[in-house]
Amino acid sequence: MAEQPTALDTAFAALATFDWGQDAKALQPIDEAVVACHGNAGQRTELEARFTRLLSQPLSRAAVEYSCRKLCLIGTAACVPTLAPLLDQPEHSHMARYALERIAVTAAGDALRKALGTVPDELKIGMIASLAARRDGQSVPAIAGVLAAASKADQTRLAVAAADA
């Protein structure tokens, strides 16, 4: 006899097809699991792995946003390789940055610094703002390089974001 899916299994299945305008009540078991996993490393690791598996497939912007919001609470270095590629995608970059700037591991800062050199110009100010939010002193040379290469019009905007770094 096949094992019955748990409420958490059902919620992750709903998240895989979730989009704005749908009832988020179906995701409540995930919210509860995120709260419950604090203090339980095994549960936290398994929950993080479920999010990273989910984020490795095509998802709606709403599902990516939801997942990133949860990973910023429970994420470790293990989710950084999944979040980092989202930094180059204009539709997902903001939420990936949101998660990475709050995940207190060196790998998250490394991913943001690396992305600063590769993201489209319109995303650079966001990368700088996230590095500044992390108080990432290692990013200063990279930010200086971006400022030097920017157009005169962009230099002011970028410099304001960089002032916090």
Q: CA 103 → CA 38, 55, 68, 82, distances in Å?
A: 14, 17, 11, 13
Is residue 46's pLDDT more than 90?
yes
* Integer Cα distance of 56 and 68 in angstroms: 12
- Which pLDDT score, from 0 to 100, does residue 5 have? 77
Q: Per-residue pLDDT averaged across 54-75, rounded?
A: 98
The number of beta carbons lying within 10 Å of the beta carbon of residue 63 is 22
Is residue 8's pLDDT more than 70?
yes
What value does the mean pLDDT of the chain take? 89
CB 79, CB 50: distance < 8 Å = no
What pTM was estimated for this model as a whole?
A: 0.86
98-35-50 Cα angle (round to 5): 65
Give the model confidence (pLDDT) of 80-130 as tens digits: 999 999 999 999 999 999 999 999 999 999 999 999 989 988 898 898 889
- Which pLDDT score, from 0 to 100, does residue 151 have? 61
- Which pLDDT score, from 0 to 100, does residue 152 have? 63
